[in-house]
Structure 1
Amino acid sequence: MASGAPPLLDFSSYYGSDEAAKAKLVDEVRKCCLHNGFFQIIGHRVPAELQEAVFTMSRTFFSLPQESKDKASIETNSWYRGYEKKESQILEAGTAPELKEGYYLGEDLPRDHPYFVNKKLNSGPNMWPQDLSDSDSEEFKSVLTRYYRMMHELARDVLAVLAKTLDLESSYFDAFTKDAVATLRLLHYPPQPKDSDLKLTRGIGAHTDFGAITLLMQNEVDGLQVYEKATGDWLDVEPRKGAYVVNLGNMFMRWSNDKYISNLHRVINKSGRERYSVPFFFSGNPDYVVQCLPNCRKEGEPAKYPSMTVQEAVGGSYNKSYAAAREYKVKAAPKKDNVLISTQPITV
């Protein structure tokens, strides 16, 4: 495997007054977006102690007995919140169901909220763990809620820099980020069996993300790889304490008329250790209309894609990946009395 991806950028200049340093950051981000859509940032405003607390909450949840985790299962709701068992998803065709388990949350909305009523991008109430002690439960909710809100702030900051890379005002994406939908995931990758077939076994299979941008926090265990199209190599992304791996999703690539890249990445945990990561997927306001961004096509050149809402652009991709895992299991499972039980697809 090759090394050296993605570059590590100091984001602190965005918050400073040095215009030359800001311009340098914008230029570095632009180069990354044109190359493979990935970069890492340090110098952000998310406190290190909050990051560490999130990993503590993640280890606390995943160490619960299986029956306790199952009480918060995403299979108990239709809006994609709660616990996901291992082998629930296939993102790379031709591979086995993925060796990860997850816990997914978002804005904790009541059932009478318009986003829940109208089924906007898996919006609704969170499925909080039931078997934590009262004090642990309170801390779990408090830490993850605070972190979720801080990640919204960081996503808005990153989008402001992305706007500048396209010679737009830093406020260009404000309407897109207003009342935005995002998903925070706690992910746990057990060590892959030493005798596993690396052509079939994945923590997460090769895929591109669905939304606008992703902000990923990793613990010290590696496994994330980014595809380098120019050479055909998979580049190892070494974890950097406190850093965020930032990548563009399919919707942003479409939005930029394919000027910027939504790139393949995967996780293969060959470390022999437990890997934890915390991605934050920022989709945006579900009713915002995505159409070709300014400065992303030549004069007189048509846009490659028709306009559509964020809901239309992002929704549906989730169902496809989960349907693939269900189909795999159905084919692999023995029939009982010639009956196979299917799982209801998740509504996004």
Structure 2
Amino acid sequence: ENLKPGTTSWASACNEIREALEEYSFFEVVYSKPSREFLEEILSSLREVFHLPAEVKAKNVHPKLGHGYMGKIPGFPEGLGIEYATNKEECQKFTNLMWPEGNDSFCYGLEKYYESNAESTIYLLKLLKYGRSRGETNVGFKAHMDKTFLTLLYQNHVRGLEIKTKDGQWIPYQPSSPASFAVIAGDVCMAWSNDRIKSSYHRVIVTGNEDRYALGLFTFLRGVIETPQELVDDEHPLKYRPFEHEGLLDFYQASNDPNKRDRNIVKAYCGVN
């Protein structure tokens, strides 16, 4: 359905999203615009890039933690990053880095996928692979909260994403469609909403023999982030001082706390005492 701002259907959808985020810090979107063939092409491209030699993937370097290549580290997926991925030139630079001789189909797929998001705040694309090595009983990603505003995930048919509910239960995410995207609230969304929306505590556990491939769009906000006045009242006093997303990421990366993945890092960074 085409939702237009100001219409009844738009207001209803916004209310459903708000309720889902407040209750679960998570919701699913079924985006029917991409064809099934195109989605399969995306997953095929993921497999292709991860089958490149390790020394080629290692060229994807970045000073920010998690924004470049991460090899096979226990408790983490293998990952590649494309910063400012809504910029076609950045996609081309990544493609040229991985395939100096050229790979038009890979670059075209990225450009086509992001065309409708060119003006959005999304700027980091993560290509993720969860693959078991010999001797491992299972693989995945340790439980954590994202340092984003929102995270959008698209995966192949191999399941593994689990969301922790308010009552402490781990709920496995089962996509309702091959065109399903998971939307996860991050730490910055929590601070912006004055804790009305909690940051999602989630993990990935893969127990089968197949590799799990996923594509993640991570949103980061520019400028000063402040809680809207309408979200602050006597029952909900201000909990976070104005801050910048970049500063939060620097604070997190500089922390030597071994348990920082489990901490409310945004509260430590800019929480009101």
Task: Indicate the TM-score class for this superposition, using the shorter chain for normalisation.
Answer: 0.7 to 0.9
AA aligned to 2:3 is Y
Aligned to 1:295: 230
The runs of 5 or more residues in structure 2 that have no matched partner are 260-273
- Is 1:78 equivalent to 2:78 in the alignment? no
Q: TM-score, normalised by structure 1?
A: 0.64
Aligned twin of 1:63:
51
Provide, for residues 308-327 of structure 1, a one-character-per-residue CA deviation record: whole Å limited to 9, x for no partner: 12222343435659x969xx
Q: 1:125 & 1:218 partners in 2: Cα distance?
A: 23
What is the identity, as a one-letter code, of the residue corresponding to 1:14? L
Amino acid at match of 1:235: I
CA distance in 1, matches of 2:236, 2:171: 35
Does the alignment pair 1:20 with 2:8?
Answer: yes
Question: How far off its partner does 1:61 sit?
Answer: 0.7
For residue 30 of structure 1, report the CA deviation from its aligned partner.
Answer: 1.4
Matched residue SS, 1:14: coil
CA distance in 2 between counterparts of 1:129 and 1:320 reads 34
- The alpha-carbon distance between structure 1 residues 219 and 320, as it changes in their structure 2 partners (threshold 3 A), is farther
Quick one: distance in 2 between partners of 1:131 and 1:43?
29
In 2: Cα distance, 1:98 partner to 1:125 partner = 30
Q: Superposition pairs for residues 140-289 of structure 1, below 5 Å?
A: 140-151=106-117, 156=120, 180=121, 182-191=123-132, 196=137, 202-230=139-167, 232-239=168-175, 240-285=177-222, 288-289=223-224
Aligned partner letter, 1:182: Y
What letter is aligned with 1:138?
D
Report the Cα offset of residue 24 of structure 1. 2.5
Q: Which amino acid aligns with 1:69?
A: K
- Output the CA distance in 1 between the equivalents of 2:116 and 2:252: 26
Distance 1:31 1:152, change over 3 A: farther
**Percent of paired sites with the same residue:** 25
After TM superposition, give the deviation of residue 140 of structure 1 in Å: 1.9
Change (3 A) 1:217 1:319: farther
Deviation at 1:28, TM superposition (A): 1.3
Q: Max radius of gyration: which structure? A: 1
Correspondence for 2:105: 139
Q: CA deviation at 1:100?
A: 1.5
Q: For the Cα contact (< 8 Å) 2:86–2:117, is it kept in 1?
A: no
CA contact 2:76–2:141 (8 Å) conserved in 1? yes
2:13 and 2:122 map into 1 onto residues whose CA distance is 27
Alpha-carbon offset, residue 188 of structure 1: 0.5
Quick one: structure 1 residues 82 and 312, their matched pair in 2 at CA, closer, same or farther if it must change by over 3 Å?
closer
Q: CA deviation at 1:82?
A: 4.0
Tell me which moved more, 247-256 or 298-307. Answer: 298-307
| Per-residue Cα deviation, 1:124-146 (whole angstroms, up to 9, x for no partner) | 995446463735x2222232233
Partner Cα separation in structure 2 for residue 225 and residue 109 of structure 1: 28
CA distance in 2 between partners of 1:98 and 1:150 (Å): 34
Q: Kindly indicate whether the alpha-carbon contact (under 8 Å) linking 1:225 and 1:236 is maintained by their aligned counterparts in 2.
A: yes
Is the partner of 2:14 in helix, strand or coil?
Answer: helix
Contact 2:163-2:170 at 8 Å conserved across structures: yes
For structure 1, the residue ranges without an aligned partner over 5 or more in a row are 1-11, 88-96, 111-122, 157-179, 326-348
Q: Provide the TM-score with structure 2 as the length reference.
A: 0.79
Secondary structure of the residue aligned to 1:284 is coil
Cα distance in 2, alignment partners of residues 280 and 252 from structure 1: 15
After TM superposition, where is structure 1 displaced by more than 6 Å over at least 4 residues in a row?
none
Q: Following TM superposition, by how much is the alpha carbon of 1:151 offset from its aligned partner in structure 2, in angstroms? A: 4.4
What's the CA shift string for 1:142-200, capped at 9, x where partnerless?
322332444456xx5xxxxxxxxxxxxxxxxxxxxxxx46210110001376763xxxx
